[in-house]
Amino acid sequence: MHDGVVTETAPEGIDTLLVAGSPHAPDEVPDPRVARWLRAAAIASRRYGSVCTGAFVLAQAGLLDGKRVATHWAVADRLTKQFPTITVDADAIHVRDGKVWTAAGVTTGMDLSLALVEEDVGRETARRVASQLVMFFKRPGGQTQFSSKGEAVPVGRSALQEVQRYVAAHPAEDHRVELLAGRMGLSARHFARLFRKEVGLTPAEWVEQVRIAAARTMLESGQWAPKEVAGKCGFHDVDTLRRAFLRRVGISPSEYRKHYAAPRARRRE
């Protein structure tokens, strides 16, 4: 490995080519000379990829067409819309698709590096590296657990937002569609159709988002065990909470609490 100017460095002879991201990468178009160099280097390399928003640089160079990739959760939708030939896994920590390796964010670049070490020199060596770096060998869950995506923000016409604000303030109450529709004086069918059109989710999906957000806040406080959280956030029981949490956050409520609750606050088990 050495320092040098991209356009002054021969693209041949690079074993692993990784493009780092930057805050402005999604908004920038690479210099044509850089794009040409990237294409030549990627083709000649044994493997290539990106970390975080570096995926946009590779995509601009046409190096991710038809590939499944990871990028930061905050720009995953944008990458999908800007480059529809790419399949973006918005929850993945890192992804390998053939010779293309991509990581979600800056620290997940370390997870990706461990995966590269494992491929090159074996699992045991990769485990020892992880131990020395005091990091997970295989991080639990995906990046959804770190994101603010899924937070249910009221949208749509004012009357619809009032219903949404009521649900957010009272997640434990019964929020069947017919009861929500009654708050607007609409039939359940009309309300469900209007809600889907203006919010982009069904009422049930939106209510679940609200309850998951409330559950995350309670679990992060460390004051409540998952069973208590389930009852206070409108889930039928702790198993229902667990299934919804795994589906939307990627890890169990117990794991989430263990990783994100303030240590001194963990009193109830």
**In angstroms, rounded to a whole number, what is the distance separating the alpha carbons of residues 168 and 156?**
15
Is residue 52 annotated as a catalytic residue, yes or no? Answer: yes
Query: What is the DSSP code string of the chain?
Result: -----GGGS-STT-SEEEE---TTGGG----HHHHHHHHHHHHHSSEEEEETTHHHHHHHTT-STT-EE---GGGHHHHHHH-TTSEE-TT-SEEEETTEEEESSTTHHHHHHHHHHHHHH-HHHHHHHHHHTT--SS-SS-GGGG--TT-----SSHHHHHHHHHHHH-TTS---HHHHHHHHT--HHHHHHHHHHHHSS-HHHHHHHHHHHHHHHHHHHTSS-HHHHHHHTT-SSHHHHHHHHHHHTSS-HHHHHHHHS-GGG----
Q: Comparing C-alpha atoms, which of 45, 39, 89 is closest to residue 67?
A: 89
Set 14, 51, 52, 167: catalytic member: 52
Return d(Cα 208, Cα 72) in angstroms, integer.
Answer: 24
Contact between residue 249 and residue 208 where contact means Cβ atoms under 8 Å apart: no
Q: Are 172 and 232 in contact (CB under 8 A)?
A: yes
Q: Report, as residue numbers or ranges, the catalytic residues.
A: 52
